[in-house]
Amino acid sequence: MRAENQTALVTGASRGIGRATAIALAQAGFDVAITARTVIDGDPTSLTDDGMVLPGSLASTAAEIESLGRRAVQIPLDLLDRDALVPAVESAISGLGHLDVVVNNAIFVSGGGPKYFLDTDPEDLINQMWGDLTAQLLLLQPQVAHMITRGGGTVINIGSGSGKWKLKFPIGQGGPQLAYCASKAGFHRAADRLAFEYGDQGIIAFTVDPGFVATERTKMVTELGEIAARGVEPSIVGEAIVWLATKGATTEKNGSYHEAQAIARNLGLLPPLPETD
C-alpha cells in the first residue's frame, strides 16, 4: 500500500517522542490518531511538580498534523484507566477507518523525576508496572486483532536502554528507576513474541530504543536534566521510527530490537559516532 493511503495510531503524542513521531508520520502521508492525557495546552496534566507548564497537548499536535493536510483523531487517554484502554483503540479504528501502523509510546509519569528504589512510593511502583507493561499489553490485543482481520500491519513498541542494558548512571545523572527498568525489560519481549505468534498472519513488530532524548519534560524537570544534556531532539527519533514503520518494515527482521539513533545515523540525521582505538 502507498504511504498516502495509510493510517497510524501513536500513543502519548501530546509532546516528546510521541508528538514528533505523529508529525513525522503525517509528513510521510499518514492520517494519525493520537492519545494523551493533556487535551489542551496548559491543562492540569501539563504541570510539573514545581508548577511549570509543559508545552504540548492533543490539540496542538492535531493542529500540526492537520496543517500538513492529514487527518488527526484526538483520543484522551490515561494509561491507568483500565476501562478506557480498549475503547481508545476502537476510537482510533473508527475514526480513521483502519490502522496500518501503531506506535505504543505512552508511559506512566510519576511526580518529579526518578527516585532510588527505597525512596519510591509503593503506589508509584504499582502504577509504573501497570502503565508501562500491563496497559501496553491490553492496548496491543485490540490493535493486533484488528490488523490480523485486515491481513497485517506494523507494531512499533517504544522500549528503553534501561530495560536492556545495565546502565551505570546514578539517579539524578540520567539513571532510571528500578520499576521503569523492570517494566521496559518485560515490554521488550512483546515484539518478538508477536512476530513469532502472528508473523504468518501479516503482523510485523519491532522494539525501538530511542536513547537519551531532549524532550520538553527532560529539559524542564531538574532531576531529568542530565538526560536532556545527553539527548537528541525528538524529531530525529520520530523520523527514525517512521523509516522503520515504512521502508524498514520490508527489510528488517520481524521481532527485532532497534536503536533509533543508530537508524538516524544511517539515514544521515545524526553524525557518525567517533571512532575509538
Q: Name the DSSP letter for residue 162.
A: G
What is the C-alpha to C-alpha distance for residues 41 and 196, in angstroms, rounded to an integer? 41
Which residues does residue 72 pair with via DSSP β-bridges, in sequence order?
32
From first to last of its 277 residues, the chain has per-residue pLDDT tens of 344 489 999 999 999 999 999 999 999 999 999 999 999 999 999 998 778 899 999 999 999 999 999 999 999 999 999 999 999 999 999 999 999 999 999 999 887 778 999 999 999 999 999 999 999 999 999 999 999 999 999 999 999 999 998 888 888 787 889 999 999 999 999 999 999 999 999 999 999 999 999 998 888 877 778 887 888 999 999 999 999 999 999 999 999 999 999 999 999 999 998 876 5
Distance of CA 217 to the CA centre of its chain: 14
- Going from the N-terminus, what domains does the chain have, and what CATH number goes with each? 3-266 (3.40.50.720)
Cα separations in angstroms, 172 against 112, 169, 211, 217:
11, 8, 17, 14
Cβ-in-10-Å burial (0-12, 13-18, 19+) of 111 comes to: exposed
Could you read off the pLDDT of 113-167 as tens digits, one per residue? Answer: 789 999 999 999 999 999 999 999 999 999 999 999 999 999 999 999 999 988 8
User: Dihedral through CA 134, CA 189, CA 12, CA 221, nearest 10?
Assistant: 90
Global pTM value: 0.94
The answer to whether 268 and 51 have CB atoms below 8 angstroms apart is no
The answer to whether 190 and 137 have CB atoms below 8 angstroms apart is yes
What is the C-alpha to C-alpha distance for residues 142 and 121, in angstroms, rounded to an integer? 32
